Amino acid sequence: MPMKPRGSGKPKRNEVALVIENANDNADDVTARTLTRPEVQAAAVIQRFEGDNHDVNALVRELTAQADAIRRGDLGRVETMLIAQAHTLDEIFANLSRRSHANIVNGYGDAAERYMRLALKAQSQCRTTLETLAEIKNPKPVAFVGQANFANGPQQVNNQRDFATSSRGRVRAEDSGNSMNEVLNNRRLENGGLNDNEVGPRADGLGIRSAHNCCPR
């Protein structure tokens, strides 16, 4: 009976098992922190759709490297991904359109309509993908306007109040009003109040006489 060659003695690595490092912390916290990482979740999805044929830890390392490149401002991989997806969606659109035409020729109207609906969905997704790529390559300028009033002509008035400036103006107005009231009060006190000569003519115009004129002394 032929003997099977012995291995090196090392256990075969399970490519499906995720390696969790940093065992100094609480095990449950480390596991939760690892499983909620976007790179880990994406790697698990890729591995499952590929039939568990890839090492999940290698996928995590690659996805982490791509995420680090994005944080550094390198969008080359993103642009490549979007243009590749746009071409893929365009191919799906063309394939489904041909299938729809074949069903039209053979008299299968319902099937032709279903294929055409799917084709148009792929075409719409292709357009959206290209719009996203164009937005990344040429971002639109952003303007922050509090309120804009547009006239019939080319005139535009921006009403954006500065809270600090308006507050200072309001305080100055209140101080000015208080100062004016103080001046008037001081003048009344210095003059001993309003005398009869000041009140009498004004009251006479209203048919009212002062107490000094109507009452004998």
pTM: 0.55
Query: What are 50-108's pLDDT values in tens digits?
Result: 887 888 999 999 999 999 999 999 999 999 999 999 999 999 999 999 999 999 999 99
Q: Which residues pair with 32 in a beta bridge?
A: none
User: By C-alpha distance, which of 26, 24, 44, 22 is closest to 35?
Assistant: 44
State residue 161's pLDDT score: 54
Query: What are 145-177's pLDDT values in tens digits?
Result: 666 666 666 666 565 555 555 555 555 555 555
Token pair for 39? 């790179």
Calpha distance 159→146 (Å, rounded): 7
Q: At which residue do the structure tokens 């019939």 appear?
A: 152
Calpha distance 170→164 (Å, rounded): 10
State residue 11's pLDDT score: 46
State residue 30's pLDDT score: 86
H helical segments located in the chain:
27-35, 38-49, 56-71, 76-105, 109-137, 163-191, 196-204, 211-214
